[in-house]
Amino acid sequence: MSKPDWKQKFRYGFDTFISRHPWSTLFVLLAIFIALLVLMTIMRNLVHLIEPIDEEGYGGFWPMVYHVFLQLADPGGMASDIERSAWSKFVAVLSGISGLIIFGSLTAFITSALMGRLDRHRQGRSRVVESGHTLILGLNNRTIELIDELKIANIEMPDERLKKGDSRVVVVLSPEGKVRLEDQIRSRTDRAGNVPWWQYIRRQRTRIVERIGDSALTGDLERMSLSSARSVVVLAHTDHTADDDDMQASDAMVIRSCLAVEQLKQAKNKEDKRPIVVAELLQERSRKVLESRERTVYTFNGNDLLAKLIVQASRSEGLAKVWTELLSFKHAEMYIYTLKQGEKDWGEGKTFGDLAYGFTEKPAELKKPVATPVPIGIYRKKESDKESDTILINPKSTEKMKKGDQAIVVAMDDSTIEYSHGHGDTMSKKFEMCRGNTINNLRPRKKETILVIGWNSLGETIVKELKNYVERGSNVVVMTSSDNKDQAAEIRKLDIAVPEIEVEYVGDKDPNKPEDLQSMELHRYGHIILLSQKQRFRGSMGTDASANDAGTILTLLQLRQVLDKSSVQPSSKLIVEIQNSDNEELLRNGGRDNDFIVSNKLISKMLAQISEDPGMRNVYREILKEESSELYIKPMSCYPTGADNPKELQFGDLMMLAQRRLEVCIGVKLKVKSDDITLIPEKTKLFKLADLDGLIVFADNEQ
**Euclidean distance between CA atoms 634 and 90, whole angstroms:** 101
Phi and psi at 613, nearest 5°, equal: -145, 100
Residue 193 has pLDDT above 50, yes or no: no
Instruction: Please say whether the beta carbons of 226 and 135 come within 8 A.
Output: yes
In this structure, is the dihedral angle defined by the CA atoms of residues 214, 219, 224 and 230, taken in order, positive or negative? positive
* Relative orientation angle of helices 178-188 and 143-155, to the nearest 10 degrees: 60
Question: What average pLDDT does this structure show over 576-591?
Answer: 73
> Where residue 22 falls among pLDDT bands split at 50, 70, 90?
low
The Cα-based distances of 399 to 280, 327, 423, 431 in angstroms read 34, 27, 19, 21
Percentage of the chain beyond pLDDT 90 is: 0
Q: What is the pLDDT of residue 542?
A: 45
**Euclidean distance between CA atoms 276 and 272, whole angstroms:** 10
Compute the mean pLDDT over every residue in the chain, rounded to the nearest whole number: 77
Strand partners, 506: 479
Question: What average pLDDT does this structure show over 614-636?
Answer: 83
Question: What average pLDDT does this structure show over 289-304?
Answer: 78
**Euclidean distance between CA atoms 582 and 546, whole angstroms:** 10
Record the pTM. 0.75
Q: Where does 520-650 have alpha helices with state H?
A: 544-565, 584-588, 601-612, 615-623
Instruction: Please say whether the beta carbons of 421 and 342 come within 8 A.
Output: no
Residue 456 has pLDDT above 80, yes or no: yes
Cis preceding-peptide flag for 373 (omega within 30 of 0): no
One-letter amino acid of 119: D
**Euclidean distance between CA atoms 330 and 151, whole angstroms:** 10
Q: What is the pLDDT of residue 427?
A: 55
Q: What is the pLDDT of residue 540?
A: 42
Please name which of 304, 309, 313, 323 lies closest in space to residue 573, comparing C-alpha atoms: 313
pLDDT, one tens digit per residue, over 33-63 is 888 888 888 887 777 777 665 545 555 677 7
Strand partners, 597: 576
> Where residue 294 falls among pLDDT bands split at 50, 70, 90?
low
> Where residue 97 falls among pLDDT bands split at 50, 70, 90?
confident
Instruction: Please say whether the beta carbons of 694 and 663 come within 8 A.
Output: no
Please name which of 650, 651, 688 lies closest in space to residue 666, comparing C-alpha atoms: 651
Instruction: Please say whether the beta carbons of 595 and 616 come within 8 A.
Output: no
Phi and psi at 482, nearest 5°, equal: -90, 145
Instruction: Please say whether the beta carbons of 233 and 278 come within 8 A.
Output: yes
Residue 645 has pLDDT above 50, yes or no: no
Residue 83 has pLDDT above 80, yes or no: no
> Where residue 397 falls among pLDDT bands split at 50, 70, 90?
confident
pLDDT, one tens digit per residue, over 509-518 is 888 888 888 8
* Relative orientation angle of helices 601-612 and 615-623, to the nearest 10 degrees: 130
pLDDT, one tens digit per residue, over 340-378 is 765 656 766 788 888 888 887 765 544 454 568 889 999
> Where residue 198 falls among pLDDT bands split at 50, 70, 90?
very low
